[in-house]
């Protein structure tokens, strides 16, 4: 079975790492990796491949960034050429970025089967570009591999045939568990003079949070106030740094005591910081899942989440963008203290590190 697996944004790399490793152990699979090139600078892309042991891509489209339409068009045009040449049996797409949707459309129109890893997630907010990508991808993919049982329910409600749906679990957790011991070797916290459970980790980059000056300034005020009680570490996404400078907020961030502004970090450093954080403030999707697996309190600065299981069966709390609500939640967590043995907390079903094996078994069983 010839399979092309598509990777684009950084979270994709964590997902494809475990899948490719599993395929490498299956003699009946010829696996190829295609990198669309959505994140084009070294820190945001290549270091993840190096640390995760992901092989050099067989194909690199190099589409870079751009508007949604521009990026989608570039991916579709370049991917079509690859499929014409390679004629794979399956294309695997992961997550919800623009290339996920674009590659699915191209393969579908060429009669090549598509498997969507992380299918069925819904925020029910069509203002989010990722939600459009999820819905469109799931509507035409041939195999929908869901990370949690609510994904199955969402797809069935949308009229997707049940025989296309397979509940396989969360692929992100495979890589997280595989890399935990290596992540423990990170010296980043020691270099920053920080101790376990005595700092907070921040990741903010969504356009809805950093492209609006008023909203961004409110987050800056949250960080300024929180840093008086709890040291904070923020590996700053290039988009966030660009907007902070444009809004005249960068100087305030740089002069906030006990706020450590970092360049983007690699996967292992990030896992180590997440694992040892007292709490995490984020607007990322994947971090909601990883903190649940690690038992770390997570405050998600969004009005909705496509991963509600991280709230009902995990450590996640939606706090929106109201600074008073965020500050109140932070103070409550600080007052509650750090629970012992956080990783022993119950996890959602199939968040066990064996999802890649279930994916491979499922796909090979459909020959």
Out of 205, 237, 260, 275, pick the active-site residue.
205
For residues 290-316, b (16+ Cβ closer than 10 Å) or e, as one string?
bbbbbbbbbbbbbeebbbbbbbebbbb
Q: Where are the alpha helices (DSSP H) in 39-97?
A: 46-52, 68-86
Element at 7 (helix H, strand E): strand 2-7
Cα pseudo-dihedral 154, 158, 161, 163, rounded to 10: -10
Instruction: Look at residue 81 and give its three-state secondary structure.
Output: helix
Cα gap 190→204, rounded to integer Å: 23
Cα gap 102→76, rounded to integer Å: 6
Cα gap 239→212, rounded to integer Å: 12
Q: State the distance between the two ends of the chain, measured CA to CA, in whole angstroms.
A: 8
- Which residues lie below 8 Å from residue 10, measured CB to CB, with a gap of 6+? 39, 44, 45, 48
Q: Identify whether the C-beta of residue 289 lies closer than 8 Å to the C-beta of residue 170.
A: yes
Cα gap 283→204, rounded to integer Å: 5
C-alpha to C-alpha distances, 56 to 33, 197, 354, nearest whole angstrom: 8, 36, 24
- Which residues lie below 8 Å from residue 120, measured CB to CB, with a gap of 6+? 138, 144, 146, 147, 148, 150, 151, 152, 153, 154, 155, 165
Segments of 295-354 assigned E as strands: 298-300, 316-318
Active-site residue flag, 116: no
Cα gap 32→2, rounded to integer Å: 8
**Where do we find the tokens 């008073």?**
324
Active-site residues, by number, are 205
């Amino acid at each position: 079975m010839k399979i092309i697996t598509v990777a684009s944004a950084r979270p994709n790399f964590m997902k494809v790492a475990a899948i490719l490793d599993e395929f490498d152990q299956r003699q009946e699979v010829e696996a190829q990796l295609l990198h669309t090139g959505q994140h084009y600078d070294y820190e945001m892309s290549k270091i993840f491949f190096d640390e995760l042991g992901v092989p050099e891509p067989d194909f690199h489209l190099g589409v870079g960034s751009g508007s949604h339409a521009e990026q989608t068009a570039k991916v579709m045009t370049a991917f079509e050429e690859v499929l014409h040449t390679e004629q794979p049996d399956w294309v695997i797409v992961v997550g919800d970025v623009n290339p996920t949707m674009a590659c699915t459309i191209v393969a579908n129109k060429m009669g090549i089967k598509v498997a969507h890893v992380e299918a069925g997630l819904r925020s029910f907010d069509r203002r989010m570009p990722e939600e459009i990508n999820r819905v469109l991808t799931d509507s035409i993919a041939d195999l929908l591999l869901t990370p949690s049982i609510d994904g199955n329910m969402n797809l069935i409600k949308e009229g997707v045939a049940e025989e296309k749906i397979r509940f396989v679990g969360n692929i992100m957790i495979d890589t997280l568990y595989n890399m935990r011991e290596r992540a423990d070797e990170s010296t980043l916290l020691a270099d920053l003079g920080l101790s376990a459970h005595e700092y907070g980790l921040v990741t903010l980059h969504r356009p809805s949070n950093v492209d609006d000056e008023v909203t961004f300034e409110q987050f800056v005020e949250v960080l300024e106030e929180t840093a008086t009680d709890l040291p904070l570490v923020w590996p700053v996404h290039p988009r966030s740094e660009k907007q902070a400078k444009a809004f005249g907020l960068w100087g305030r961030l740089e002069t906030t005591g006990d706020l450590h502004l970092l360049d983007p970090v690699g996967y292992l450093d990030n896992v180590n910081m997440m694992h040892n954080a007292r709490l995490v403030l984020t607007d990322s999707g994947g971090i909601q899942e990883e903190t649940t697996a690690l038992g770390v309190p997570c405050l998600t600065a969004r009005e909705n989440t496509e991963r509600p299981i991280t709230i009902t069966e995990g450590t996640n709390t939606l706090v929106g963008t109201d600074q008073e609500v965020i500050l109140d939640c932070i103070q409550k967590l600080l007052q509650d203290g750090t629970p012992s043995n956080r990783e022993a907390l119950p996890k959602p079903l199939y968040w066990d590190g064996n999802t890649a094996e279930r994916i491979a078994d499922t796909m090979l069983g459909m020959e």
